[in-house]
Structure formats: C-alpha cells, structure tokens
Structure 1
Amino acid sequence: MTPDPRPPAVPPAPSGGHRPPGLLHIRFTAADGTPLSADRFEQLLRLLARFTPVTEALPPDAALADVRGALRYFDRDAEGIAELIRLRALAWHGVRCTIGVAGNPLLARMAAQAAAPGEIQVVPDDAAAVGAFLDRRPASALHGIGPATARALSAYGLDSIGRIAAAPPATLQRILGAKTGRSVHERARGIDPTPVVPNAASRSMAAEHRFAHDELDPVRRRRALLSLADGLGVRMRAAGQVARALTLTVRYADRSTTTRTRRLDGPTAHGPALTEAAYALHAALGLQRARVRSVALRAEDLCRAERAARQLTFDPADEKAHRIEAAVDRARARFGAGAVHPAATLRPRSRPAQP
C-alpha cells in the first residue's frame, strides 16, 4: 500500500472560544546592528514567499504575512511557522526576527513591539486573551495613536487601552472627532479589519536614520529627515521613478512607533519637495519632549518618471532648482554618492575661543 505523501491535516480549531491566529508581523534586525540594505530586505521577502504568497512589505525592515493558508501544508500552527522563519532568517541571512502572531495586523504589530528582540509573542484570537493583552497598556502603545492624541485622551482620564475600550464611542467622538473616535474605539477593542495586501518592495523605497542616543532635539531630527529625503530623491532619480506619497515612521525609546502618510502634490523625485513633505509630517506629530530612537521615510506609490504627469510652472527659481539638482546628480555619478551633500545636513563646528 502506497503511503499518502501529503502531511496529516491540522486538527480543526475548536468552535466558539479559542481560534488559532494566523497573521505575523515580522521586524528584521541585522545581527551586527547595521541597517538592512535594500538587497537583503528583498532576500528576506523571498524567504517569506516560501511560506505564503500573502506577504505585505513594510520597508525598511518589517513585513506582514498571512499564513492561515499554509498551516495545513506545513502541519504547524502560526507560531510554529514563525519559528521556522526566525531560524531560517538567522541561519541563511544573519538576521534576527522579532515576530508578533495574532488574528489581525493591529494585534500582530503590537505583539511584535511588545516582544523582546529576536523573540516571538502570540496573542490568541479570542476576546478574553485580546482584552488581557490590551487592558493595561498605555494609550500611546495603540498603533495609530500619536503623542498628541494620547495626551488628549489622558486629559480625560483615558490613559490606558482598557479605559479607552470601556469609554462610550460618543465620548471618544467628542474628544477626537467622529471618524477618529470610531477608529480608536475599534482599535482599543482589538478590532482591525485591514487585510494583508500582497505587494512588492519595488512599489516603495525607504531609508532610516537611527540616532546614537534617544534624540530630544527637533533640529537634529529635521537634519536627519533632510538627509533621508535627499537620499531618497537621489535613488528615485537614478532608478527613473517618482513617488506619489511619503510616509514618516518615528520610533520612540519605548519601542512604540507612530506612522503618518502624506499624499504629495504631484508625482516627484525632487529633493526639496520630499523634504518639505517630511518636515510637514514631522511638525504635525507635535513631538515636543519625545525621546526619538529613529526616523524613517518611505516613498510610496512609485511609478516610472516618464509616465507621470508633471505640473507646468513658470517660476524660474523652480526650474533653476531642478537644473542644480541634475548637475549634483551628475557630480555624484562621477565622483561618488558622498561627493555632494545638502549644507544643512552638516553639523556646525564649534568655533575656537577668541583670545
């Protein structure tokens, strides 16, 4: 009798209470502590594709993966698949994975943030476990709530996710507005219907700056954003691409993050336009005394430059800026990427004391 080559079926989930989660939020960290290169990030996405085609790239160092369709094939639950991914990433690419396993992207992301570096944290997909996981966490730990929103909620005594979930939706709408109030109420109860959208890293381009120490100075943060925006512009122009949107991700000392996206006025790879959008995103967060560990910019919704419509302008200063940028690109191509930098990215030198 020929043995059945198929792996045994995974036992069905018990009806009613506990259901096995199936979404992974994976954060990649190079073992030597250096930022991930674009090539290595592409390799890690291909590793995830060995387990599931439903993978959403979150450059520069994260991804979402829906492995519910792979549980039967690998004869493992989602945590078991996460362990396989963790081991293979470390053995094949020298990259540590911090993985959150949950029933939706919101909870998976928060589980990954709460996990120790290189570890796996699971949030079972049932109401009691989700409530216990969220209850005593601060309002700022809820993805989508920035420092300004957290302060507004704390002023009304809603300083934890459990208290936000217990508050009437009408109260949250009066504090935050109708749309934001409804969204925050759902998220505080662990509800996130956002699907995992398979994409390719080439649809976006990202860069990150990690500060040597938790940064409080907004001037230094703006200097880092200028450098990132300038670098993204150089890379997009070299690849013949333009972006329609820009996303800023700020990571804080407590490992929580805030992400904001801004649609650009038009498809562009122009450094000053990207810098202006990055500054606007940063200013909108109101980070007065926040301890910032890193900032990242991601140019999104990329398309070929020749296919993008460009708004005509009769401003000679704008045309001059584009000509200067083209000349700088030629200098970098000839003498190296470090040949030219925006002057504002240079740290001012202290002047010697006058006798």
Structure 2
Amino acid sequence: MGLCKNSNPKTSNIVHVDVDAFFASVEQVLNPSLRGKPVLVGRGCVASASYEAKFCGVRTAMSFREALRICPKAIVVPGQYEHYADFAERVRRILETYTPAVETAALDDFYLDFAGTERLYPDFPGTLRRLQMEILKRTGLSVSVGAARTKVVASIASRLERPRGFRIVAPGEEEAFLTPLPVEKLYGIGHVHAGMLAERGVTTIGQLREVPKLALQAAFGEVIGQQVWERARGLDGREVLLPSTPKSVSRETTIEGGTIDTEFLGGLIEYLSERIGSTLREYGKQARTIGLRIRYVDHFSAHQAMRIGKPTNDERELLAAAKDLFDKLFTRRVAVRLVGVSVTNLETDRRQNELFDTNANRRWYLNRGLDSVRGRYGWNAVFYGNGLELREHYASKPNGLVPSTPCLSR
C-alpha cells in the first residue's frame, strides 16, 4: 500500500465517510417496500439494523430473539451479501471523483485525504455536502461525513450524529471536541474496556486524558495503552493508504453441479477475460502472460500459462489466448466445476506502441468507452454476445450478475 502524506497538517484534510446502516440500507434500496420500516439483516444475530430498528434500541450483534422482543415490528431478511460489495464499489468510485487519495478501511467506510486541493475546492464544507448528496442520489445510500486533521478524530466526527451526520473539527479544536464524549466513542475502546474504566470513575475522553500513560499500558498492554493515550489526545500518525498496484490479476468462479457445455464455459471465460481487461486498464497495466485453470467435479485440476505475443489489456486478445489454453486443457469427458483466468508479468500501459495500428487504436477507444459507460451505469449496461447468454443462467443485480461465487463479479 502507498502512503498519502499529509502535506498541510493545519487543515482538516482527512475525511471519513461511513455508510449509514450499510447492509440494512442496501436491502431498503433493493426493496423499496422496506423503506421507513425497521429492518434486521443476518442469521441468528443482527449483522445490521436500519435506523428505524436502532431507534427502538436494537444493536448490532444482538440476538434476533432479543431484537424482536424490543422491536416486534422489525422485518428480518437473511441478507443478499452478493450485492453489498457492488454498492461499496459504487460509493468508492464516486469518492474517487473528488480525490484519488481514497482508502477503503472496511466495506462500508472510507478515508479520504484532501491535502493540496484547497484551490480546487475553496468551499470545503460545501464540497463535502455535495459529496454526501451525490452518493445519496446515485446509490440511494445515506452516508455520514467527518473531517479533521487525523483519522481518529475524523472517524469519531462522522459517527457522532448518524444517520446523515456531518461534522468538521477545525485544527486546534480537537481537545474541546473530544473532552465531553464517552470513552466508548474512542477507537479501540470496547464495552469491556469501557466497563473497566467506568469502575475507576473514567467515563469521558476528557477524564481518560488525565490517566497517566504508564497506568493505561498496565491496564491495556504496552502497545494498546500507548495507542489509547494518543487517541484520547486526537493524535494519530496513520496516513491515508493508497491501493498498491497489483503484480497479478485473477478471476475465477465455480459452476454448481459442474458442466461439460463448452459454449457455457466459453461464455464464462469471456466474462472473466472482460473483468481482467477492465481491471488492467483501471491500473494502467498490460499483461505479458495469461494462465487458465480448470477443476473437474472429481477434483482433478489442470493449469497452463502462456506468453502473449505482445503485452495487452484488451479483453479480446486475452480471450483468444484463454480459449487456446482451454482447448488444450479440456481433454476429459468430465464436468468442469471451476474455471479461472489469471494474468501476470504486468507492465505499464504503453499505448504509443499501437498508435499506427488502426485496429488496435480502434479497440483502445472502444475499451475506454465501455469502461466509462460501465463505471457510470454499472457492468450490466453493456454486454458482449456470450455475456447476454450468461444472463439466462444467472440472476441479475444492479451492478452485474449473481454468480455461484462472488469472484465472478469482482
């Protein structure tokens, strides 16, 4: 992972964006009849609860028996987990239109660094409000936003007044902001530790700040104690981490029950090749080597790789090579349960090598056009012929298909 250095620590340039009640909110977007109603997501215990349920007292990790006792009108859904990563990706792509320095801390929360963008965004609060509204408009999800000089303070600020929270902590105001808050708001302090501190009369972050560092290290251990001592003062040396460039890209999926239908398997290979090509272009990379792996229902596996004539990120060229490998590997009259495509030996995309190749130039513009349309309207906006045939086998979702394994939609 790369580091995004804080070039101006005198500004509230670190922004934390947290999707409100993520799983439950996605369920309400997918099923509008759930909007405005208490919704619980999970199996056995609450993985996510809508704010209508939270207002009744429901909390995450609570058993369904207890949750339904205090909120009898709550609607329980098992969760459509294949959709959640897609919605998270849609949010991330919107955030990246504001600054390239976006770190995915978890599926539903992100850190952004706006350092050096003062001239681009002279009205910083207005920019964050616009970001908040754009996510709501384009995904149907509400987010809470917090900004400060450090990650820890920005994170607390975003979670203080959810849903649709908005708080900017100006430089120098961190102590006043943190002092009255309960210790549970501090990152790393759970209910157990909060109970331990409460027994000693420490219930607010301001009171925690008065506890000597050595006493905190004795109670929590040297590393955690040091961290708690720093966080109580709003100190946090963590930078926003930028995604590292991949050294390889792979996509695979399983086929329930297996199949010997070569047309269907060819459609899957085409779809996986499209996904890999799109990912390579996103990172500005081309691949020199492609590999194909198949696994039969009797657990026998076969894998082979080949060097591509010239480095490429064009899915048509990747597909042609992958199909050659498939023809060599699929030699048994046994159903195939898994198929996977991978590329290695990545190089920086050097389009100048293709400027005088009319067909390659045309493919370059076509691929970028497809990427642009799919980035704005979702993967389902454009399908090649075999991709359309896959829709007969897999259900559709807002941003792709529902495969046997989530890898297919990555």
TM-score normalised according to structure 1 size: 0.50
Q: Which structure's CA Rg is the greater one?
A: 2
